[in-house]
Amino acid sequence: MATALIDLDDLDLFVSGDPYAAWAWLREHAPVYWNATADGGYWALTTYADVSAVYRDPVAFSSKDGTVLGGSFRSATDTATGQMLICSDPPEHRLLRHHVHKAFDKRMMHAAAEHVRAYLTDALDRLTADGGGDFATEVAPTLPAGLLAAMFGIGRADALHLLHLTRTMIGFRDEEYVRDSGEALTLVGAQVEIFDFLTELLDRRRAEPGEDLVSILLAAETNGRGLTESQILYNALNVAVGGNETTPFTASAIVETLIGHPEEERRLHDDPSLVGTAVDEFFRWTSTNAYVRRTATKDVTLRGIRIPAGQTLTLWNASANRDESAFPHADRLDLGRAPNHHLAFGVANHRCVGMSAAWMEITLLVEELVRRRLRFTPSGKIERLASNFMLGIKHLPVEVAA
């Protein structure tokens, strides 16, 4: 494979190609790679060492332009910059993180686990009774729906509606979600609808505070100053998108992974004590959030290559997590792998604030699959999301046997 043939912006690579082969080539031959695009380009870092080093230097590598290439919250003038966790740098980031983190406390995770368990059990009961179905649409969404119902204090129907909107926002380049108005307006339209939803919720919580995320952000205060309305909305949006788009894709990818690795599946069913290490290995293996974006704040040199201030870098978690120099037999799924210092959630100051929620959801799913001894076989074509940001499965038709 020649460098010129690798285009990490080519969505076909993620829908029907093999991005893992492209990343393996880049790690070996061009670890600091300039990926040209029609409107410029970006640097792609693919080794574990480089990706973790850049994560750990938020001064030289800023988050102000957001985490998605050419997608949401993209421009330096975007109003989200400095107001939303994922698009902010220290010191603002530290303050916002302190407040948002409070919504992920033990009490909230306990309440969320109750919701997730109830929704998931229903969906698995139905799937089993029917002998199968589309795991990606019938089961996977119950995980974030349960979490958001608890975190936002809303009902199942509203949680599913919010899920649909955030999926449109992230999948705005995918034919299943793009609206007649075109990609750009699909993205903006979905964002506006999410903001309308959250603004209405904010008004309700102002009138009658509860114990949910919006009420927690409304009550947040530092040195006598609270968060502004736009900070509350942006961070509620950040949690909604972070929570909705990652765990369901991870759940479907886990089922696909189990189908492709029957020996590891048997090993897990035979030894349920492996659930803890299995969950971590699933996060490493599936790395749903393929990359995050940073902007160089000054001229820097990486592996002898000069990166001028202002240029964009992409840190490919999914590639770093298959780097042989960090993981022995990196291309082998090992549900007992320990230690497992994967980068699926990033690292350092922006490390996923929802990690405990993701852990809870995926652990409940894996425990339930093992408890019911569910085994899946494909019953149709797997369809992937047209995105290089989220490694997502849109449709996963399966037959299921207990």
Residues of the shown chain interacting with ligand HEM in the complex, contacts defined by CB under 6 A: 63, 67, 85-86, 97, 147, 238-239, 242-243, 246-247, 250, 288-289, 292, 317, 344-346, 350, 352-354, 357-358
Nearer to ligand HEM among residue 47 and residue 246 (C-beta): 246
Nearer to ligand HEM among residue 85 and residue 233 (C-beta): 85
At closest approach, how far in Å is the CB of 231 from ligand HEM? 13
At closest approach, how far in Å is the CB of 230 from ligand HEM? 16
At closest approach, how far in Å is the CB of 76 from ligand HEM? 16
At closest approach, how far in Å is the CB of 164 from ligand HEM? 17
Name every residue whose Cβ is closer than 8 Å to that of residue 313 and which is 6 or more positions away in sequence: 42, 43, 44, 45, 54, 61, 293, 294, 295, 296, 307
Token representation of residue 307: 């990166």
Is 311 in contact with 62 (CB distance < 8 Å)? no
Nearer to ligand HEM among residue 289 and residue 319 (C-beta): 289
Look at the block and give the residue holding tokens 């849109």: 394
Token representation of residue 44: 């792609």
Nearer to ligand HEM among residue 30 and residue 352 (C-beta): 352
At closest approach, how far in Å is the CB of 125 from ligand HEM? 24
The number of C-alpha atoms within 13 Å of 245 and in the hemisphere containing its C-beta is: 23
CA–CA separation, 182 and 175 (whole Å): 10
Nearer to ligand HEM among residue 246 and residue 312 (C-beta): 246
Token representation of residue 57: 């230097």
What is the distance between the terminal CA atoms of the chain, rounded to a whole angstrom?
43
Nearer to ligand HEM among residue 199 and residue 349 (C-beta): 349
At closest approach, how far in Å is the CB of 388 from ligand HEM? 14
Nearer to ligand HEM among residue 99 and residue 173 (C-beta): 99
At closest approach, how far in Å is the CB of 14 from ligand HEM? 16
Nearer to ligand HEM among residue 87 and residue 178 (C-beta): 87
Burial of 41 (0-12, 13-18, 19+ CB in 10 A): middle
CA–CA separation, 158 and 2 (whole Å): 48
Nearest Cα to Cα of residue 267 among 355, 366, 146, 364: 366
At closest approach, how far in Å is the CB of 154 from ligand HEM? 14
Nearest Cα to Cα of residue 168 among 354, 386, 388: 386
Q: Tell me the β-bridge partners of 289.
A: 390
Token representation of residue 402: 């207990």
At closest approach, how far in Å is the CB of 238 from ligand HEM? 4
CA–CA separation, 4 and 374 (whole Å): 44
CA 100 to chain centre: 17
Nearer to ligand HEM among residue 66 and residue 133 (C-beta): 66
Is 149 in contact with 142 (CB distance < 8 Å)? no
At CA 239, angle to CA 236 and CA 243, rounded to 5? Answer: 145
Nearest Cα to Cα of residue 122 among 151, 80, 158, 156: 156
